[in-house]
Structures are given as C-alpha cells and as structure tokens.
Amino acid sequence: MATQSLLWNSVKKFLACGLIGLTISDRYASIVPVRGASMSPTFNPQARNFTDDYVLVEKFCLKKYEFSHGDVVVFCSPSNHKEKHIKRIIALPGDWIGTSHNSHDDVLKVPKGHCWVEGDNSASSMDSRSFGPIPLGLVKGRVTHVVWPPQRIGLVERVFPQERVSSFK
Amino acid sequence: MRLLSYMGQWKSAAKEVLDRTAIVAKFLCLLHVTNNYLCSPTLVYGPSMLPTLNLTGDVVLAEHVSHRIGKVGRGDLVLVRSPVDPRRILTKRVVGMEGDTVCFYVDPMYSQTTVVPKGHVWIQGDNTYASSDSRHFGPLPYGLIQGKVFFRVWPPDGFGTLEQ
C-alpha cells in the first residue's frame, strides 16, 4: 500500500508540474532553440558552432496582436503548420515595402492584418520575399532575450532598415 | 513560550494559505489546458453560417485535438483566426484542402477557378450571400485554424452534434 500511495503522489506531482509548465509556456513565456543560420548575426553567429542559441519568447503581445517594426517573432510557416520560424518584422499593415526579387525592384503595400517578415541573413533565409506577407494570426510570440549559451546572454535589439519602409498611406 | 506558540500559529496559517493558493493555481492551469487542448465552448453569431448556425447566437463546443494532428478535412466546421483582424475568430466551413481546385462565384455573372496552395485551406460560409471568407481574402494558412466545431449546446432545440 505504501509504495502505491507513493507512486500515486509522484504521478500527481508530475501532472501538476506539467499543467503549470504548459500554461506558463502558452500564456506568458517559453524558451525555444533557434535552428539554422537564417537570423545569423543576431542568433547562431557561427554556422560551425554546434550549440544552438536558446531564446526567451514572451506571449503577452498575443493579447492584442500589437507589434513594432523590428520585433523578432516566432510564427507558424504558412506552407506547413508544423514548422515554426523565427524572423524579424520589417513592415506592418498599411506600410509600403520595397522588395528586390530576382534583381528586379518592386514596391508593395502590406495588406490589413498582415506583416512582412525577413531573416537578418538575407542570403540564406526563407521569408516574405518568397512567400509574401503573412497574417498576424500566425505569430506565436516575440523573442526578447538570448538565454543560452552564457557568453551570449542579452537583449535582442529592435532594428530594421528604415529606408525600405514607408508608412505613406 | 508565548512567542513560540504565536510563531507556530503563524506558520500553520501561512502554510494553509499557500496550500489553498496552490490548489486554485492548479485548477486555473487545468482550465487553461482543457480550454486550449481539448475542448472549449464558443459563442458564435452573425449571418454567415445560416442555415447551419443561427443568426442570434449559438453556443457550440469546439475541440482542439484534430487540427493539431492534421485531421481537419472537407466539410468540417472550423474556428479560424481572421487574416484581416487577428483579434477576431471566424466560424466557417472547410471547402477545399491543399491541392484542390476550387470554383467560386465572385459575382453572379462571373466565376473563377483557383488551386489551393500547399499548407492552405479554402473556407466558405454556408450563407454565400452574407459571408466574408476565402472568396475575399483567398486561401488561408492551416496554422490559422483554432479548432473544429462539433456540438451545439444552445439553443435547446438544436442540441446535438453538427452534421458535416
């Protein structure tokens, strides 16, 4: 009997921890690894470094879906819902964005409820330049800090190429 | 001696408060997890899903399992996050999956055919005349699907599963 109750207690503790962890990671913040070199100077600066960067993702921005230019966000890939990507928001709804696709320049307006995302390493990044603006509803959180490895702990800064974006209506 | 007994009392009171808070916190977490991963009640209203759902407001149950394992198919009623305003949730019917060819009327005289791209779905309201759906904003990424509606709770005469 004693072992059974011990087992039951530990199962209960385990379940409670799981519930609390899931809730926190859904509603408040979570920690995710960054794979690949598409955000290269900001995350994973050396491609041959075998450790991935781990980043803190906050979920408070999902209450109102309000973002700023230059925020780094996690979002579901529009072509495969199981994949998550980390990219930087360059333009928000209503902005005009200059794109250079196959060495021919174009300007387009980001539609209502959408945003334009690009990786910091434009040479190897699958982003809005290939799949166009994405709905803001796909965004799953905002990256605020790098938390691992220890020598790279720090804030993720908000930078964006101002000369490419114009909010002229 | 008296100080010690006070200390003891204070300690047990603090322990009880902590225990109660832990129970409430666990309950709230359980609520969140059931709401997000199993099933949740939703109030839907508006003319776009007539005659399946009423104009004035129905309470329906939506389950959140099948869209996570990719089991949403043609004919299912789904909750999707609107691509135009991410704070709004729409209730529509899935008409086409990826790779399907969809034929729809832009206006009564003119029809158009498109192929739904990879990872996208085509959704439409049952009331063709008063529905803002994929005919206006094109195919939607699968990731915007929030749940699948399967049961109606209110009004009482419509109580039961919703057929496809």
DSSP string for residues in B77-96: EEEEE-SS-TT-EEEEEEEE
The pLDDT, as a whole number, for residue B5 is 86
State whether A81 and B28 contact (CB < 8 Å).
Answer: no
pLDDT(A169) > 70: no
**Environment class of residue A162 by beta-carbon count within 10 Å: exposed (0-12), middle (13-18) or buried (19+)?**
exposed
Structure tokens, B11: 């300690």
For residue B114, give the amino acid letter.
Answer: T
Residues in chain B, how many? 164
pLDDT(A93) > 60: yes
- Number of Cα atoms under 13 Å in the Cβ half of residue B103: 3
Among A76, A111, A113, whose Cβ lies nearest the Cβ of B86?
A113
State whether A20 and B26 contact (CB < 8 Å).
Answer: yes
Contact between B102 and B121 under an 8 Å Cβ cutoff? The reply is no
Angle at B84 between CA A67 and CA B79, to 5 degrees: 105
Residues in chain B whose beta carbon is closer than 8 A to a beta carbon of chain A? 25-26, 28-30, 32-33, 36-37, 70, 81-87, 117-120, 140-145
Contact between A122 and A99 under an 8 Å Cβ cutoff? The reply is no
State whether B81 and A135 contact (CB < 8 Å).
Answer: yes
The pLDDT, as a whole number, for residue B164 is 62
State whether A65 and B32 contact (CB < 8 Å).
Answer: no
**pLDDT band per the 50, 70, 90 thresholds, residue A31:** very high
Distance CA B47, CA B84 (A): 18
The pLDDT, as a whole number, for residue B128 is 82
Residues of A in contact with B37 (CB under 8 A): 22
The ipTM (two decimal places) reads: 0.80
Contact between A54 and A154 under an 8 Å Cβ cutoff? The reply is no
Of B51-60, B79-88, B90-99, minimum mean pLDDT range: B51-60
For residue A49, give the amino acid letter.
Answer: N
The residues pairing with B151 across neighbouring beta strands, listed in sequence order, are B61, B161
Nearest chain A residue (CA) to B142: A81
Residue B60 vs residue A49, higher pLDDT: B60
- The predicted model scores a pTM of 0.84
Residues of A in contact with B83 (CB under 8 A): 113-114, 135, 137
Residue A79 DSSP label: S
Contact between B41 and B153 under an 8 Å Cβ cutoff? The reply is yes
Distance CA A122, CA B72 (A): 35
Catalytically annotated residues of A = 38, 87
Catalytically annotated residues of B = 48, 92
**pLDDT band per the 50, 70, 90 thresholds, residue A102:** low
Distance CA B44, CA B87 (A): 15
- Number of Cα atoms under 13 Å in the Cβ half of residue A157: 5
Distance CA B8, CA A69 (A): 56
- Distance (Å) of CA A3 to CA A9, A13, A14, A72: 10, 15, 16, 49
Cα distance from B70 to chain A (closest Cα, Å)? 9
State whether A20 and B25 contact (CB < 8 Å).
Answer: yes
**Can you give the C-alpha Rg of chain A in angstroms?**
19
Query: Per-residue pLDDT tens for B98-114?
Result: 888 988 877 777 888 88
The kind and range of the H/E element at B29 are: helix B2-33
